[in-house]
Structure formats: C-alpha cells, structure tokens
C-alpha cells in the first residue's frame, strides 16, 4: 500500500535538501551525534523544510547538542552559533 507521501508526489526521483555541520575541536576530533532511529553516528544537521533556512536548521541542531557537551566544547558551539546568525 503506498504511503501518503508516495500518493502525493508519485514514484519519480526527488531532491530533499539536507545540511550538516562538521565541528572539530582543538585536537582535530570531530563531533558526531548518535541517530535516534538507527543508533549510527552522524553529523549534526538534517533535512531542510520548505521555508526554513539552512543556518536556522544548523543553529537548532547545534543548540540541541550544546546541552550534552562539556563546558570547554560549549564555548566552541557558542562561537559557531554566533557565526551562523
């Protein structure tokens, strides 16, 4: 049975805008997050909804991760947020 989405757009190819941010610390380690759906590692980011700006998406995702970081890494995130806005 076709999903509502398939009924709406059909079976043809489609483009889904997606944006991620790759963050390095001073030791050149990369920040990953654990995906909730499959447990794999991923970069912060996601699909961009219609009318949403990429910087808005990245700000929201980085802001969400910010609560899970050490104080030293939070400073890096704050600097990045300042550049995104």
Q: What is the pLDDT of residues 3-27, one digit of tens each?
A: 777 777 777 777 788 888 888 777 8
The answer to whether residue 33 is domain-embedded is: yes
Q: How confident is the model at residue 51 (pLDDT cuts 50, 70, 90)?
A: confident
Structural domain containing residue 42 = 11-84
Number of domains in the chain: 1
From the CB of residue 37, how many other CB atoms can be counted at a distance below 10 Å? 6
The answer to whether residue 75 is domain-embedded is: yes
The answer to whether residue 5 is domain-embedded is: no
60: pLDDT strictly greater than 80: no
The answer to whether residue 2 is domain-embedded is: no
Token pair of 27, please? Answer: 């030791």
The answer to whether residue 1 is domain-embedded is: no
Residue 76 backbone dihedrals phi, psi, to 5 degrees: -60, -45
Contacts of 23 by beta carbon, 8 Å cutoff, 6+ apart = 30, 31, 44, 62, 76, 77, 80
Give pTM, 2 decimals.
0.57
The answer to whether residue 71 is domain-embedded is: yes
Q: How confident is the model at residue 61 (pLDDT cuts 50, 70, 90)?
A: confident
């Amino acid at each position: 049975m076709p999903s509502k989405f398939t009924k709406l757009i059909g079976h043809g190819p489609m483009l889904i805008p997606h944006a991620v941010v790759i963050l390095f610390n001073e030791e050149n380690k990369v920040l990953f997050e654990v995906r909730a759906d499959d447990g794999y590692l991923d970069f912060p980011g996601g699909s961009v909804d219609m009318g949403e700006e990429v910087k808005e998406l990245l700000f929201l995702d980085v802001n969400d991760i910010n609560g899970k970081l050490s104080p030293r890494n939070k400073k890096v995130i704050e600097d990045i947020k300042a550049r995104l806005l």
